[in-house]
């Protein structure tokens, strides 16, 4: 199914491009938002990613899985955005701007809010693999391919990132709840 879609895209089929966006656009936006903590930058990043896919699809080997290639482009665009503008919104401001977070008020939500804040405060080396694994559901091998890092390193970073999150969440709960 996906091979057919990509073959059509290689022929510059505009309908295929739209189908591709419908399939990958939402999670691309989610991942870019979680990484940059800035929805405007995330929108620009996703635009750039799809434009690059459209222009460089001829370079993609259709026999290989598409998603790691796609997310490698997305991560590169995130890095480019970081270099361009280091002034990301602080996570607390970002949370204030989220309509959903402003409306919800229950224990689970509070935990998600703290947890999301804790994820946002992780160092990039832990945060990005965590986002790719938990938000997008990538396996360690795929994350290693996307980030072009050894798989064991990814495994270790995921483990440490998770430990930091647990610890950070406990500290926040102790102080706030």
Alpha carbon distances (Å) from 160 to 111, 119, 155, 169: 20, 12, 9, 14
Alpha carbon distances (Å) from 100 to 39, 125, 169: 14, 28, 21
Q: Which stretch binds other proteins (CB under 8 A): 2-10, 67-75, 128-136, 141-149?
A: 128-136
CB of 42 to other proteins, least distance (A): 7
Instruction: Please list, residue by residue across 145-154, b when 16 or more beta carbons sit within 10 angstroms of its beta carbon and e when fewer do.
Output: bbbeeeeeeb
Query: Considering the rule CB under 8 A, would residue 16 count as an interface residue with other proteins?
Result: no
Query: Considering the rule CB under 8 A, would residue 140 count as an interface residue with other proteins?
Result: no
Distance CA 162, CA 122 (A): 10
Question: Residue 154 in contact with residue 140, Cβ under 8 Å?
Answer: yes
Which of residues 63 and 160 has its CB atom nearest to other proteins in the complex? 160
CB of 2 to other proteins, least distance (A): 19
Query: Considering the rule CB under 8 A, would residue 60 count as an interface residue with other proteins?
Result: no
Question: Residue 131 in contact with residue 119, Cβ under 8 Å?
Answer: yes
Residue from 16, 46, 74, 143 in contact with other proteins (CB under 8 A): 46
Query: Considering the rule CB under 8 A, would residue 76 count as an interface residue with other proteins?
Result: no
Query: Considering the rule CB under 8 A, would residue 36 count as an interface residue with other proteins?
Result: no
Distance CA 127, CA 158 (A): 8
Binding mask 82-121 for other proteins (x = CB under 8 A): --x----------x--xxxx--x---xx-xxx-xx--xx-
Distance CA 29, CA 87 (A): 19
Residues that bind other proteins (CB under 8 A): 14, 17-18, 21, 25-26, 29-31, 33-34, 39, 42-48, 50-51, 54-55, 77, 80-81, 84, 95, 98-101, 104, 108-109, 111-113, 115-116, 119-120, 130-131, 134-135, 162, 165-166
């Amino acid at each position: 199914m996906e091979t057919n879609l990509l073959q059509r895209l290689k022929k510059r089929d505009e309908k295929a491009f739209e189908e591709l966006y419908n399939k990958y656009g939402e999670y691309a936006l989610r991942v870019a938002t979680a990484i940059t903590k800035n929805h405007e930058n995330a929108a620009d990043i996703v635009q750039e990613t799809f434009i690059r896919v459209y222009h460089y699809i001829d370079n993609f080997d259709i026999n290989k899985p598409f998603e790691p290639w796609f997310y490698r482009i997305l991560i590169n665009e995130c890095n480019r955005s970081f270099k361009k503008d280091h002034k990301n919104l602080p996570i607390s401001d970002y949370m204030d701007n989220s309509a959903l977070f402003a409306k919800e008020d229950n224990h689970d939500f509070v935990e998600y809010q703290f947890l999301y804040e804790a994820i946002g405060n992780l160092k990039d080396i832990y945060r990005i693999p965590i986002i790719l694994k938990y938000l997008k559901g990538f396996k360690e091998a795929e994350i290693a391919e996307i980030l072009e890092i050894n798989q064991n390193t990814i495994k270790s970073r995921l483990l440490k990132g998770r430990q930091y999150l647990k610890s950070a969440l406990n500290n926040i709960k102790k102080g706030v709840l």
